[in-house]
Structure 1
């Protein structure tokens, strides 16, 4: 990654961005448009899949649609691990971002073309592109700061996170209006336009990134490197041909798949992959004792991150369906698109991210800043409280009533506060705890925790079935109560183990 610890030099700060390196602006706007494309498409994805065929949808049942949603969002983050590895060893972080953005753009424009084949092809392309872009752009953010700037780095990630959510706020308003009001494919096309704008901005301002992530972290002799390149190319060609063959077979009907069964199997496979990867790092990588302890902390935080995202990512699935089916969206005779409520979380992020960024710096100056495990615990508990709100709202639904959007808005407020306690802090912790030669890969592992959480979220949302709820009204509040117990329980466990985890982190807090 070529981060030598002096990347915060005078030259980088000469054209500063809110007192941070100018390169943060390049990454801020690239990620803003990439997240515009992702959250814009995500806001209408499940609604499109469950909509009737004669209205332009796929006509899938809730369980199948949410399983596909879980698989898609899982693979978006799952491929962050090989994407980080390829960037570390082959492309360099900056080129990985560029290539990933191009592939994402192609995916969204593919989904803009009506047809099952183009829809699933688009999902595959977005998954591949995001796997290249997502982990590496976050790694470069961490590389903009020196090793002695931990508080400023946390603040920088909070600003970066605000950029993510500007895109996430605008996207559902545009894609939701176009998708629900005119044509689903217009909404998908608008997401592609957003990613295209992000690519143009990135290429025009990438000079401000300097040499951070410009070259891969290669080791070995030139001959060994050349052999590695050859193996990677052969592997990518083989994987590409396999994917094309599988895609043709499935889209042509030669092979039938069960998304629910695949989702269940995938969860088990991810668990094994994570165990295998951490074992590989401990055995194959030449780590010091201190580095091994810090890798252990990343492994522990991985578990609690997965728990958090399994609840948080209900936003695009079960909470989205709740907004469409059980929420009173009538505004003076005009029916507000259900997907517009997907912008609420992003709105709260935009307004509260600067507050949290300032808060961590202020507390650090007072020597009162909570340790990373405590921040994680707060995030999980706040997430659980949000679902407690939904549990009470569901009792009104069980009684045959529609509820006001304020219930969802209050839930998203609590979820946002939880997200700000956990997500940017987690990204920053990974860049601080990882050995420099493994930053991209560790960021990829981190996104695997989000992948695991997304998969679980999709399977939980599969229980959000209108027919099943009509048959058993207690199912809805019971579903939300299960999430409350899981997330709050996870937060309490973290608080209990705060001191042992802090000890393993050493001088990193």
Structure 2
């Protein structure tokens, strides 16, 4: 799970009184429970669908899947993950400028629900018709509902995800002693949803893939219902900023028209695609997108450094953000393989039989959440204890540790892949240990990333620098999907090469961590008074 979820919106609370006002539950605003369950169900829908996504794409048509090859499936998975993070930027902008945070969460949840139910449509039609037998070929309904559903989920998540965390921040007065605890409770909701979803949705997917997608949509629907029923506890927070004068009112009207025009254009493009006017090569689009993200990121940092009107001290800090952008992308390119290459490894090369019952591959997607719930308090206490002894590592060193630990996880996968390449099934413990190391890495790096970005960013570029952090995750997610197509062992040749592919990932990730360890002291000097 992404620890940056815990930090979103922390800098948006109202100033003034440190006391919490309004209805409370166990010393926290009751609105926190509204947001806790909304986010829990949203993450249930997201991670439930994600646990099935690449398995559904690569499953043979005869078993109800799409029958895509590994490269195409990995590219689609990567593009989907990328856009989830990219659209958080316009989603936050729409909330700030037009409809407010609360309505953004509401409308985003509705769009997500429609997306999941759209993906479930072929299964619902089969249920109505009474024909549950997998077809021997793909119909237009299968493909159209799949791609349209993904697009809707991406749009809805971009609208909901950044804004619900910001509302949490607004529930507490700035510098309130309970604020961090509130975010920790909220963050637990993320992991509870992410833990339950893969198990529940994968269980239904045994009978029909689309039932699993439908359950994910039902989860988001439950979140919407409770959000509406308990919305009274959010009164006074997350409302839109109304225009102060006629000039601002006209500007707002223009923005609204611009958004509708953009949505209309998206609708036209989607329609033309479905009508067969043009086709899209996911592998080619993924490659181009990687290049474009790199160019956009480099151009932005160069602009800020040379044309941003910054002081020498601010330029040094921006340079640190630029360096960490690169290492963050490398980390997420490995970590985000959980839902792609590691999910396929669980499906194809892991002995999942227990007492005659085969564990669904998607169950393994819950392991990271279990470890996060168990280990996050330990890591927090460890950093505090080290800080008291002046032994706490610097932020760049924590980043480096995260990369090395991630690499150790893929080293475990190297040995598991050797077993698979020899023709045997690997024990489930190989994946469990891999996810344990990856969780160690996430807890070392992820809490630092967004927090450090907000501290290092020049005041007039804070929002944009936060956008760059999410852009690094988007880039890493896209790379993860592309890499998954080559290390999934879908053919005999790919299977024989799989151990070496995992070993290459180890060299890249651990090598990046080692480089960052060497650079840690110079980077620490560039950071100045920021810790």
Instruction: Give TM-score, length-normalised by structure 1.
Output: 0.89
* 1:228–1:210 Cα change, 3 Å: same
**In the alignment, what sits opposite 1:337?**
360
> Does the 8 Å CA contact 1:303/1:449 hold for their aligned counterparts?
yes
> Does the 8 Å CA contact 1:3/1:212 hold for their aligned counterparts?
no
How far apart in 1 are the matches of 2:88 and 2:421? 40
* 1:31–1:430 Cα change, 3 Å: farther
Q: Residue 57 of structure 1: SS of its match in structure 2?
A: coil
1:477 alignment partner, one of 466, 483, 499 = 499
Query: Are 1:167 and 2:193 counterparts?
Result: yes
How far apart in 2 are the matches of 1:156 and 1:505? 29
> Does the 8 Å CA contact 1:85/1:441 hold for their aligned counterparts?
no
Question: What is the deviation of 1:230?
Answer: 3.5
Query: Are 1:112 and 2:120 counterparts?
Result: yes
> Does the 8 Å CA contact 1:36/1:168 hold for their aligned counterparts?
yes
Deviations 1:128-173 (A, max 9, x none): 1111222233445556677768x98776655544322211110000
Structure 2, unmatched stretches of 5+, are: 1-8, 123-141
* 1:386–1:136 Cα change, 3 Å: same
**In the alignment, what sits opposite 1:185?**
210
**What does residue range 193-232 of structure 1 map to in structure 2 within 5 Å?**
193-205=218-230, 213-216=238-241, 222-232=245-255
Query: Are 1:492 and 2:517 counterparts?
Result: no
* 1:196–1:317 Cα change, 3 Å: same
Question: What is the deviation of 1:232?
Answer: 2.4
How far apart in 1 are the matches of 2:309 and 2:166? 21
1:9 alignment partner, one of 14, 18, 27 = 18
Deviations 1:66-114 (A, max 9, x none): 1111111111111122222333333333433332222112211111101
* 1:332–1:52 Cα change, 3 Å: same
How far apart in 2 are the matches of 1:245 and 1:381? 45
Q: Residue 497 of structure 1: SS of its match in structure 2?
A: helix
2:72 alignment partner, one of 43, 60, 64 = 64
Task: Give the length in aligned residue pairs.
Answer: 503
How far apart in 1 are the matches of 2:343 and 2:253? 45
Query: Are 1:42 and 2:50 counterparts?
Result: yes
Instruction: Give TM-score, length-normalised by structure 2.
Output: 0.85
**In the alignment, what sits opposite 1:302?**
325
* 1:380–1:22 Cα change, 3 Å: farther
Question: What is the deviation of 1:235?
Answer: 2.6
* 1:86–1:363 Cα change, 3 Å: farther
1:396 alignment partner, one of 411, 414, 419 = 419
* 1:381–1:217 Cα change, 3 Å: farther
How far apart in 1 are the matches of 2:173 and 2:311? 21
**In the alignment, what sits opposite 2:281?**
258
Structure 1, unmatched stretches of 5+, are: none
1:91 alignment partner, one of 85, 89, 99 = 99
How far apart in 1 are the matches of 2:317 and 2:106? 31
* 1:314–1:124 Cα change, 3 Å: same
Deviations 1:348-399 (A, max 9, x none): 1111122223333444445443332222111111100000000011111111
> Does the 8 Å CA contact 2:84/2:154 hold for their aligned counterparts?
yes
**In the alignment, what sits opposite 1:358?**
381
Task: Give the root-mean-square deviation of aligned CA atoms.
Answer: 3.1
Deviations 1:40-81 (A, max 9, x none): 000001111111222211111111111111111111111122
> Does the 8 Å CA contact 1:155/1:360 hold for their aligned counterparts?
no
Question: What is the deviation of 1:441?
Answer: 4.3
**In the alignment, what sits opposite 2:149?**
122
Question: What is the deviation of 1:14?
Answer: 8.3
* 1:467–1:39 Cα change, 3 Å: closer
Deviations 1:186-206 (A, max 9, x none): 111111111122233444555
**In the alignment, what sits opposite 2:400?**
377
